[in-house]
């Protein structure tokens, strides 16, 4: 089979397209013949050596797939060969076949195309877990979303609205803000053209944000760490700017807010039952059109580096998908 492989940490254009053996399932695994693979910002960080995970070389990046079960392990009873599934894998997704723990795969309803199913998992499931389990977002609260036109930011906008929040989108261009508003954002801030701090204060009536979904880092985090409401929850999701900020912890003390980390990949492993419950709710919202997948572009495996570079350049609106 064909697979995208990383032989050494470096720029995304150093990835290779290799011929490798189709994997065999372990007792608790299934093999998925991939029809679509979601592309995510952590994938770009991973191959550059900038992510928390440092796999042994060579490795195949890619953490979310949708396709058809081609083989099952000896202990797998709830999935069968020929069944359509969506699945989470820590590695291995950017290939024509991938081995996945059966507990991290779910049957795929016919009303979700594989392209959208692959793009629904990581971004939407991260936002869902963050807002539901980590922030305990309540209807009527004010949610601020940075990077609100990116894959997970756009998902947070949609899910925040589904949960009844007032959503303020923060983006770098008016075009991106328009996309966020088309997906449910009530207000928007273009931080490259507006005074971010002043606009945030005006839009919250000086009260600050109840919940912040922060996936940019850098200056955005610095502003938001000073603009939290009493008993607010500042969610640390990622650092798309490439700048990992520091927090003056006295701000959390005097403002009475919580800094909450969101590491969805570990959550899926430590709480697989809750993860599957979340996915069922997400699929229900998808069917009700409360959430939707915005696919900005599809790529062949051979063009994986182009997709990852577009993410690195922060030019993506929604999600990118590989079609093996």
For the stretch 156-193, pLDDT in tens is 999 999 999 999 999 999 999 999 999 999 999 999 89
% of the chain at pLDDT higher than 90: 85
- Please, are residues 98 and 92 in contact by the beta-carbon 8 Å criterion? yes
Look at residue 310 and give its three-state secondary structure.
Answer: helix
Residue 96 has what pLDDT?
A: 98
Residues ≥6 apart with Cβ < 8 Å to 270: none
Q: Does 80 fall in a domain? A: yes
In which domain, by residue range, is 178 found?
127-261
* Same domain assignment for residues 211 and 140: yes
Dump pLDDT digits (tens) for 53-104: 899 999 999 999 999 999 999 999 999 999 999 999 989 999 999 999 998 9
Report the pLDDT value the prediction gives residue 239, as an integer from 0 to 100: 87
Indicate whether 302 and 253 sit together in one domain: no
- The CATH number of whichever domain residue 214 belongs to comes to 3.40.50.720
SS3 state of residue 38: strand
On whether both 141 and 241 belong to a single domain, the answer is yes
User: According to the model, what pLDDT value does residue 82 have?
Assistant: 97
What's the Cα-to-Cα distance from 29 to each of 4, 26, 103, rounded to whole Å?
A: 21, 5, 8
Per the structure, the count of domains in the chain is 2
Which residues lie across from 145 on neighbouring strands?
A: 169, 213
Tens-place pLDDT, residues 279-296: 999 999 999 999 999 999
Using alpha carbons only, how large is the chain's radius of gyration in Å? 19
What's the CA gap between 266 and 236, in Å, rounded? 15
Q: What is the pLDDT of residue 265?
A: 83
49 token code pair = 């050596």
Residue 318 carries which DSSP code? B
The label of the residue with tokens 């603009």 reads: 227
What does the alpha-carbon distance between residue 217 and residue 300 come to, in Å, rounded to a whole number? 31
**Do 31 and 91 reside in the same domain of the chain?**
yes
Q: What is the CATH number of the domain that holds 77?
A: 3.90.180.10
- Return the SS3 of 101: strand
pLDDT in tens, 36-54: 999 998 899 999 998 888 9
What the block records as the tokens of 92 is 């291995």
- What integer is the mean pLDDT of 101-114? 92
Same domain, yes or no, for 138 and 190?
yes
Residue 267 lies in a domain: no
Scanning 174-271, the segments in alpha helix (DSSP H) are 174-182, 196-203, 218-224, 249-255, 264-270
* pLDDT confidence band for 324 (50 / 70 / 90): very high
Residue 255 included in any domain? yes
Instruction: From 152, 147, 127, 149, select the one nearest 39 (Cα to Cα).
Output: 152
Structural domain includes residue 137: yes
Give me the percent of the chain exceeding a pLDDT of 70. Answer: 100
Backbone angles phi, psi at 248, to 5 degrees: -70, 105
What kind and span of H or E run contains 273?
helix 272-287
187 and 145: one domain?
yes
Domain boundary among 237, 261, 285: 261
Question: Is residue 286 domain-resident?
Answer: no
Q: What is the mean pLDDT of the chain?
A: 94
Statement to judge: residues 139 and 225 lie in one domain: yes
Record the tokens describing residue 64, joined without a space.
Answer: 């979310």
Asked if 152 and 255 sit in the same domain, the reply is yes
Q: What is the pTM of this model?
A: 0.89
Cα dihedral 146, 150, 153, 159, rounded to 10, equals 150
Per-residue pLDDT, 119: 87
* 3-class secondary-structure state, position 71: strand
Of 126-130, 186-190, 264-268, the range with the lowest mean pLDDT is 264-268
Same domain, 236 and 301: no
Task: Tell whether the model's pLDDT for residue 242 goes beyond 80.
Answer: no
Tokens of 167: 């959503």
- What is the predicted pLDDT for the residue at 215? 92
Are residues 158 and 86 part of one domain? no
How far apart are the C-alpha atoms of 310 and 94, rounded to whole Å?
16
Q: Say whether both 180 and 84 belong to one domain.
A: no
- H or E, element range at 157: helix 151-162
Query: What tokens appear for 181 in the block?
Result: 């508003």
| Whether residues 33 and 149 fall in one domain | no
User: Which residues fall within 8 angstroms of residue 84, CB to CB, at 6 or more apart?
Assistant: 66, 67, 68, 69, 107, 108, 110, 114
């Amino acid at each position: 089979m064909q697979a995208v492989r990383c032989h050494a940490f470096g720029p995304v254009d150093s990835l290779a397209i290799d011929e490798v053996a189709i994997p065999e399932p372990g007792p608790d695994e299934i093999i998925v013949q991939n029809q679509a693979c979601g592309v995510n910002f952590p994938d770009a960080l991973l191959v550059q050596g900038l992510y928390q995970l440092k796999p042994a070389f060579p490795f195949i990046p890619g953490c979310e797939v949708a396709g058809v079960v081609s083989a099952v392990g000896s202990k797998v009873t709830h999935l069968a060969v020929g069944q359509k599934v969506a699945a989470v894998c820590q590695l291995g997704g950017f290939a024509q076949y991938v081995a996945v723990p059966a507990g991290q795969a779910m049957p795929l309803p016919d009303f979700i195309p594989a392209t959208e199913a692959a793009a629904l998992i990581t971004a939407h499931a991260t936002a869902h877990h963050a807002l539901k389990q980590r922030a305990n977002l309540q209807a009527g609260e004010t949610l601020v979303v940075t990077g609100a036109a990116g894959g997970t930011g756009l998902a947070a906008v949609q899910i925040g609205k589904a949960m009844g929040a007032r959503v303020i989108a923060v983006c770098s261009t008016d075009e991106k803000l328009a996309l966020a508003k088309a997906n449910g954002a009530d207000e928007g801030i273009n931080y490259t053209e507006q005074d971010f701090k002043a606009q945030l204060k005006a839009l919250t009536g000086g009260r600050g944000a109840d919940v912040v979904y922060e996936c940019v880092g850098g200056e955005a985090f610095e502003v938001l760490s000073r603009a939290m409401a009493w008993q607010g929850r500042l969610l640390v999701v990622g650092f798309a700017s490439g700048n990992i900020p520091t927090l003056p912890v006295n701000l959390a003390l005097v403002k009475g807010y919580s800094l909450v980390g969101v590491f969805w990949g570990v959550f899926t492993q430590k709480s697989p039952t809750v993860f599957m419950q979340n996915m069922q709710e997400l699929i229900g919202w998808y069917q009700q059109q409360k959430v939707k997948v915005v696919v900005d572009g599809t790529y062949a495996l051979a063009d994986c580096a182009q997709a990852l570079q577009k993410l690195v350049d922060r030019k993506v609106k929604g999600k990118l998908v590989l079609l093996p």
